[in-house]
Amino acid sequence: MNRDQIAGKIQKRYGVTREEAEKQIADWERKASDSWFSTGKKN
């Protein structure tokens, strides 16, 4: 799934404009950390 598809899903689900959906994605990107994506396993 690419950024455009994610923005479309946010827009449809929450009834926001494309601009607002893009803003929400950008906000999430700034706040996300690598630990959000870890599987819990340590190498």
**pLDDT (tens digit, 9 = 90+) per residue, 1-43?**
899 999 999 999 999 999 999 999 999 988 887 776 766 655 5
Sign of the CA dihedral running 25, 27, 30, 36: negative
40 in any annotated domain: no
User: What confidence score (pLDDT) does residue 18 get?
Assistant: 97
The four Cα atoms 33, 1, 8, 10 give a dihedral, to 10 degrees, of: -40
24 in any annotated domain: yes
11 in any annotated domain: yes
25 in any annotated domain: yes
9 in any annotated domain: yes
Domain count, the chain: 1
Q: Which helix (H) or strand (E) holds 30?
A: helix 18-31
What residues make up the domain containing 23? 3-29
Is-above-0.85 flag for pTM?
no
